[in-house]
Amino acid sequence: MNLSQLKYGQVAVVEKVSDNDLSLKLLEMGVLPGEIVSLENIAPFGDPIAIMVGEYKMCIRIQDAIHIEIKLK
């Protein structure tokens, strides 16, 4: 399952980021394997989405969220 498939109210754990360039960018923002994430908001047209990573809220494009593999908690 990837982050773009997460629904409201679901909590998941990041397993890995499959895109190497994106991986470095997300690492700097705290999206690490083992981190707990949850879906907070979806933009009116469905892109971007706001996720909670630990105690940090961030927005991410669906195109990037597809590369973040998660496991439901």
Whether 30 shows a pLDDT value over 90: the answer reads no
DSSP label at 31? -
Whether 14 shows a pLDDT value over 90: the answer reads yes
SS3 27: helix
This prediction's pTM: 0.88
Mean pLDDT of the chain: 91
pLDDT in the model for residue 2? 94
Residue ranges of domains in the chain, CATH in brackets: 3-72 (2.30.30.90)
pLDDT in the model for residue 52? 94
pLDDT in the model for residue 36? 94
Burial of 2 (0-12, 13-18, 19+ CB in 10 A): middle
**Beta-carbon neighbour count of residue 40 at 10 Å?**
13
Cα 8 to Cα 18, 24, 40, 42: the distances in Å are: 23, 27, 7, 9
Rounded to whole angstroms, the maximal C-alpha distance in the chain is: 30
